[in-house]
Amino acid sequence: MKYYHKITYTLLFFTLVFIVACVTINIYFPAEKVKSVAKDIVKDIRGGKSRSDDTAVDKTSFLENTATLILPSIAFADDVTNVSNPIIRTLKERMKQRFYRLKPYYQKGLLKEQDNGYVKLVNTKGLNLKQKRDIKNLVKAENADRHDLYLAVARAMNISPSDVNKVARIFAEQWKKSLK
């Protein structure tokens, strides 16, 4: 009788170990949502029509409006990609004001958007000492605000701080597109 109890407990133990071993944790990085947020934020900063501007009620069909009333999940699905809080709004406003001072330097080819989501000063030929100091300060302030923006977006979207570099790389694509 004791032998059967040992076999039963052993089988139960290995069954539980097997079940626990089969459970996997899938950590999901919402790249498409981040891309959508990045697109809206970059357009807000650098000009252009944001995605949220063209989602007016008058452009939706009767069927879509009815589905929104019946299915709440559809009605709120877009809210996930509209990320905003006081920190993000403040950073966007500062970056927007700074962009108008950076724009001539982009046009002259003195600044470059890097793949890591930050601005790099690539050339200072033809600039006097004051202009060199000014552009260096602008780039330093821009990169500091971008770092804070990426962190704020990651927090707002419940993305791990260890994935902030992924957020920055996604933003890099949008920064580059905005200069074309």
**Claim to verify: residue 144 and residue 61 sit in the same structural domain:** no
| Cβ atoms 155, 167 nearer than 8 A | no
Q: Is the pLDDT of residue 36 over 90?
A: yes
Domain co-membership, 150 together with 111? yes
The reply to whether 157 and 76 lie within a common domain is no
Residue 110 lies in a domain: yes
Structural domain boundaries enclosing 71: 55-80
132 plus 43 within the same structural domain: yes
Query: Would you say residue 141 has pLDDT above 90?
Result: yes
Q: At what angle do helices 86-107 and 129-156 cross, to 10 degrees?
A: 140
pTM: 0.69
Inter-residue contact 148 to 87 (CB < 8 Å): yes
Residues 91, 41 share a domain: yes
Same domain, 107 and 163: yes
Under the banding of pLDDT at 50, 70 and 90, the label for residue 25 is low
Residues 94, 126: one domain? Answer: yes
- Tell me if 21 is assigned to some domain: no
pLDDT at 93: 96
Q: Is the pLDDT of residue 137 over 80?
A: yes
Residue 42 lies in a domain: yes
Residue 54 backbone zone (phi > 0: left; psi -120 to 50: alpha; other: beta)? alpha
- Determine, yes or no, domain membership for 41: yes
Tell whether 67 and 110 lie within a shared domain: no
Residue 24 lies in a domain: no
**What's the number of domains the chain is made of?**
2
- How far lies 89's CA from each of 41, 59, 84, 95, 164, in Å? 9, 27, 7, 10, 19
pLDDT at 65 > cutoff 70: no
Beta-bridge partner residues of 112:
120
Residue 90: pLDDT above 70? yes
Q: Are residues 124 and 144 in the same domain?
A: yes
* 41 and 106 together in one domain: yes
Question: Does 18 fall in a domain?
Answer: no
How high does pLDDT run on average in the chain?
80
Asked, for residue 17, whether it belongs to a domain, the answer is no
Same domain, 60 and 106: no
- Determine, yes or no, domain membership for 134: yes
In a 13 Å sphere around the CA of 63, the CA atoms on its Cβ side amount to 0
Q: What is the pLDDT of residue 18?
A: 62
pLDDT at 5 over 70: no
The share of the chain scoring above pLDDT 70, in percent, equals 68
Q: What is the CB-side half-sphere exposure of residue 99 using CA atoms within 13 A? A: 17
166 and 87 in a common domain: yes
